[in-house]
Amino acid sequence: MQRLLLTVLIVVFFLPWIGCGEKNHGTVPVSITITQKGSPLAGATVTIISSDGKGHSAGGRTDSSGTASLQTPERWKGALPGEYVVAVKKWVGETVPDPTDDSPDATRTDQKNVLPAKYGEHTSSGFRLTVGNKALQTAFDIGEE
């Protein structure tokens, strides 16, 4: 009886962890390299949204090589299969006087997108991609405006 009780306790305790691990929830690994005039663009935010209106999206931030590994808003690695439009922004902080604070040295940091505006919008960037059932690595270049 004690042996049965111990077995049941072990099964009940470990059952929640059986089969656990990283699940992909149907997502496929996606990495996007962004260059500007051929040079890697570090620190840019890359977002994709489904072009079919289903609302799927994913995003990431480029590293020093200009590559972003995407994840969904639910923090699932990659993106769901489908057709997507792409937007790219690079935010840079600029310290400016703060008019809402009366102290003489008051400043605030305003964030500004330093890339041409068309690339920051999914509807105007001109960048599209298709996520299939296999890992995707692709690249886009932001040329001169």
pLDDT tens for the chain, 145 residues: list them: 556 544 544 554 554 444 455 565 899 999 999 999 999 999 999 999 999 877 789 999 999 999 999 999 999 999 999 999 999 999 998 777 878 877 777 777 778 899 999 999 999 999 999 999 999 999 999 986 5
Q: Which residues span the domain enclosing 50?
A: 27-97+107-142
Amino acid 12: pLDDT? 47
Does residue 3 belong to any structural domain of this protein?
A: no
Which residues, listed in sequence order, are joined to residue 83 by a DSSP beta bridge?
A: 130
Query: CB-based contacts of 60: which residues, under 8 Å, 6+ apart?
Result: 32, 45, 46, 68, 69, 70, 71
In a domain? residue 21: no
Q: Which amino acid is at 25?
A: H
CA atoms within 13 A on the CB side of 6: 3
Q: Is residue 22 part of a domain?
A: no
Which residue(s) pair with 107 in the sheet?
97
The enclosing domain of 127 has a CATH number of 2.60.40.10
Burial 21-42 (b: 16+ CB within 10 A, else e): eeeeeebbbbbbbbbbeeebbe
Is residue 83 a contact partner of residue 52, using CB atoms and an 8 Å limit?
yes
Number of domains in the chain: 1
pLDDT of residue 19: 47
In a domain, 131, yes or no: yes
Task: Please report whether residue 62 resides in a domain.
Answer: yes
